Homo-oligomer: A and B are copies of this chain.
């Protein structure tokens, strides 16, 4: 399954693996695919460390980095210095009540540690934070830099072009795809509404052919709901030049997914996800849990805009994760993670390398099935 995208980024086959876990990135790249490290929650120092590790592991094989550059963010996080001040008391009260209702010990949300973590979290999704991550990324031999949200700032495109690194961008509509190409993007990731994380509403089956036609000859990767080789074959028949998968790596051996969440993912079916603003402030598909039910429920104050909701939610999730792993049943009910509707196709824990090999094999079977049908026609 070689396409022009393989030449663009130097991979054996056009299977892009988005993961926040460096082990997954390295494993997929070493298996012939293309690992992309999601660097949104990282400090520049942490990113430098992760990329050094990956460089050692992949021995020159190609990989990429994804930074989250929102087109519009709530400026209060940058203006005031302390983004915590912009969060209404109502939201802290709701959060405290949630911890109490589920019997989880309430941490000191307003303490000095929380302020520091919040400032760091806010910084990584603002323009200035993203630029630092871009600079660190481009100082490594990456073969792709991706912008997960909105049009990449001209500075990012300029820096990447100067370094000879192709730029990719995720889109959920045809109009966004056109805008990205106009901004100088080399590779479009058309992400259907069934995807995990930040996502639109147009499905992969409809979005991919529309985007392919709209931006040709710029190559398009299909994303959203893809976890099997059959779906890769389907994406290529729709006109895509490859696929971008995120969810499927969450249940691999290498993934740093919280064990409680990993168990939930393995048991979940396609109907167990929801597109909710409750974790980041923008609609993001995630596992249904007590967290989403409470924030989407009648007593909720509603989600704040990004990055404020992200600060509220990620701080809480850190505490809930620890409590869940320490056996707190209420915390286990609340924790969740971003995942696509393909969660129902993820049933066993496998090494990431094995997921790649299984996908390639199933891809070949799907192609054989299709040609057999055609041959008999």
| A interface with B by C-beta (< 8 Å) | 1-3, 13, 173-174, 192-194, 201-207, 209-210, 224-226, 228, 230-231, 233-239, 269-271, 340-342, 344-345, 364, 366-367, 369-371, 373-374, 376-377
Contacts and interface: CB of A to CB of B under 8 A. Distances in A.
A224 B205 contact: yes
B194 A373 contact: no
Contacts of A194: 202-203, 205-206
Copies of this chain, complex-wide, total: 2
Nearest to A202: B270
A305 to B, nearest CB: 21
Contact of A370 (B193, B236, B271, B377): B236
Given A237-B234, A270-B173, A367-B237, A203 B201 contact: no
Given A233-B370, A367-B370, A342 B206 contact: yes
A369 B1 CA distance: 11
A84 to B, nearest CB: 32
A364 B374 contact: yes
A42 to B, nearest CB: 30
A202 B174 CA distance: 21
Contacts of A367: 237, 370-371, 374
Nearest to A207: B270
Given A231-B238, A367-B370, 20 more contacts: A1-B374, A2-B376, A192-B203, A193-B203, A194-B203, A194-B205, A194-B206, A202-B341, A205-B205, A205-B226, A206-B344, A209-B228, A209-B231, A209-B345, A230-B237, A233-B237, A234-B237, A236-B370, A236-B373, A238-B366
B209 A341 contact: no
Nearest to A209: B230
Contact of A174 (B237, B239, B269): B269
A191 to B, nearest CB: 12
29 contacts: A1-B377, A173-B270, A173-B271, A174-B270, A192-B205, A193-B203, A194-B205, A202-B270, A202-B271, A202-B341, A203-B204, A203-B341, A205-B231, A206-B342, A206-B344, A210-B270, A210-B345, A230-B239, A231-B238, A234-B234, A234-B237, A237-B367, A237-B369, A237-B370, A238-B366, A239-B366, A239-B369, A367-B371, A367-B374
